[in-house]
Amino acid sequence: MAIQIKDVGTLQAKYLNRAGGAVADYKAGVMAPKKPQAQSAIDAAPLWQQAVNSPQALAAFKKNLQASGETGWQNGATNKGAQNYPNGVRLGAPKWASNVAPYLAVISGLTLPAKGIKGSDANVARVSVVAQALHAKKVSMAGG
């Protein structure tokens, strides 16, 4: 005997109704996970690396991208991403400022060589001073 299931429209309506009302449960789960999320993710990193390096993962990744296509990506980005973008930027602004501040401090502390004419080696040297200083800061912040 075949398994009896409800039609997709009914199930979609149930999904939307239940998920929309689960915001408090979602937040509670984030605030009180069974195990600390960051440490669990760190512990799972070797398995993740194995999984993403597998031929099956590559095949699935490509298959899903081909199935979605450019239109799928554009629809998701414009219909979901665009409306969430401003709030995400607003909520992420303090973290952005904290992350960029050390690099801005490096830049503001540099003394650049004199400017040259357009396209000159002197101008490339100015860029090099900035690039080297920022790279050194990145390495030092990463513990290298």
Give residue 40's pLDDT.
Answer: 94
In the predicted model, is pLDDT for residue 144 greater than 80? no
In the predicted model, is pLDDT for residue 17 greater than 80? yes
What is the helix (H) or strand (E) element at residue 121, kind and residue range?
helix 121-141
Q: What is the pLDDT of residues 19-53, one digit of tens each?
A: 888 888 989 999 999 899 999 999 999 999 999 99
Cα 116 from Cα 25, distance rounded (Å) = 61
114 Cβ contact partners less than 8 Å away, ≥ 6 residues apart: 122
In the predicted model, is pLDDT for residue 15 greater than 80? yes
Give the residue among 114, 98, 110 at the shortest CA–CA distance from 134: 110
Every domain of the chain and the residues it spans: 110-144
Please give the angle made by the CA atoms of 73, 74 and 75, to the nearest 5 degrees.
95
Q: What is the pLDDT of residues 102-127, one digit of tens each?
A: 999 999 999 999 999 999 999 999 99
Which residue in this structure is represented by tokens 């904290």? 98
